[in-house]
Amino acid sequence: MAAPDKLRGSATAADVAAAVGRVAWEGGWDCDEVPLADGGEGTLAALGGPNRTSVVTGPLGDTVEAAWRYGRTAVVEMALASGLALAGGPEENDPVAASTAGTGELIAAAMDAGCKRIVVAVGGSATTDGGLAALRALEPLARLKAIELIVACDVRTRFVDAARVFAPQKGASPAQVQLLTRRLERLAQLYAESYGIDVDALAGAGAAGGLAGGLACAGARLVEGFELVADELDLYERIEGADLVVTAEGFLDEQSFEGKVVGGVAELAAALGVPVLAVVGDVDDGVAIPDGLEVVSLVERFGEERAWAHTTRCIEDVVRQRLV
């Protein structure tokens, strides 16, 4: 079975799953290909891919065309409306002005289309606005009472810690991090007074610069993204009976075992007694690898240049050696 996450910048989860599947087929094995995600970028693809597009406000105010999924469960990926890539990366981003308005507009589009259950994947953001702009785009919030709004969080960060932990990756200077932290602290107070929600007490509320906490004020339920994707795809049942599970991600570190794909797959497989091979781009020094999890670093085995230039070929080589 192939149950990977993406290797950002070099291979999508679907690319990795297909590479594993090709090698399994060569060896006469059946392979269930299940590309995964943890609530961040790639979640929309893992849950079926887009079939609608809406024009919304981008993170820095320009309009963007954002893809989303319409269906029994609508899926909105905030990176496609308010993502760092849309802002030109950290070098071009304005981390103080970046806004989640477009994500709110995308959720509203799904509501207007008649969707009653909406999943919002919140990784890859350009923003640290605490979700305030998204909330304003969704007003009046009373119309969300008939909607099951679910936020798939890819981190467990507290609301007021979002700036300190993630804003530097979005181009924020130390002074801007302090400013954004104070803004989140004030927002937490405002949300408690206006909506009766203590966002800083919610695990994951700091996801996407506090967007998750802001949406909680609109009645959203915050869940771990990997668990949601695993449930939607019946991952536990699909792992059961497998001879081997191959998972993957770009960089293995301690966070990999805190709600991310590799850790989640390893935990499910261990409960079922199924061995797991994790093929990763690289491994953080000193990371504690659980007993029974076999890890192969592509950089260590093939060198950095080949690992990132020919990622799927390297993955095929690793899997081929494991299956022989």
Maximum CA pair distance of the chain? 62
Q: What is the pLDDT of residue 84?
A: 97
Mean pLDDT of the chain: 96
pLDDT tens track for 146-155: 999 999 998 8
pLDDT cut 70: percent of the chain above it: 100
The CATH number given to 13-36+234-323 is 3.40.50.10350
Q: What is the pLDDT of residue 103?
A: 98
Query: Per-domain residue ranges for the chain?
Result: 13-36+234-323, 43-226
What's CA 222's distance to the chain center, in Å? 13
Q: Are the beta carbons of 137 and 104 closer than 8 angstroms?
A: yes
Task: Check whether 255 has a pLDDT greater than 90.
Answer: no
pTM as predicted: 0.91
pLDDT tens track for 37-75: 999 889 999 999 999 999 999 999 999 999 999 998 999
Angle between helices 311-323 and 13-26 (to 10 degrees): 40
pLDDT tens track for 196-231: 999 999 999 999 999 999 999 999 999 999 999 999
Mean pLDDT of 71-82: 96
* Length of the chain counted residue by residue: 324
Q: What is the pLDDT of residue 8?
A: 87
pLDDT tens track for 154-184: 888 999 999 999 999 999 999 999 999 999 9
Q: Are the beta carbons of 152 and 228 closer than 8 angstroms?
A: yes
**In this structure, what token pair is assigned to residue 97?**
């002005």
Task: Check whether 286 has a pLDDT greater than 90.
Answer: no
Angle between helices 225-232 and 261-272 (to 10 degrees): 50
Q: What is the pLDDT of residue 77?
A: 97
If you search the block for the tokens 């300190």, which residue do you land on? Answer: 164
Q: Which residues pair with residue 64 across a beta bridge? A: 56
CB atoms within 10 A of CB 30: 10
What's CA 266's distance to the chain center, in Å? 18
Nearest to 57 by CA among 129, 3, 8: 129
Q: What is the pLDDT of residue 291?
A: 86
CATH architecture of the domain 43-226 equals Alpha-Beta Complex (3.90)
Task: Check whether 275 has a pLDDT greater than 90.
Answer: yes
Q: Are the beta carbons of 318 and 19 closer than 8 angstroms?
A: no
**In this structure, what token pair is assigned to residue 288?**
């504690």
Mean pLDDT of 254-272: 93
Q: What is the pLDDT of residue 238?
A: 96
Q: What is the pLDDT of residue 262?
A: 96
pLDDT tens track for 86-131: 999 999 999 999 999 999 999 999 999 999 999 999 989 999 999 9
Note the helical H segments in 130-203: 132-138, 162-166, 174-195
Q: What is the pLDDT of residue 13?
A: 96
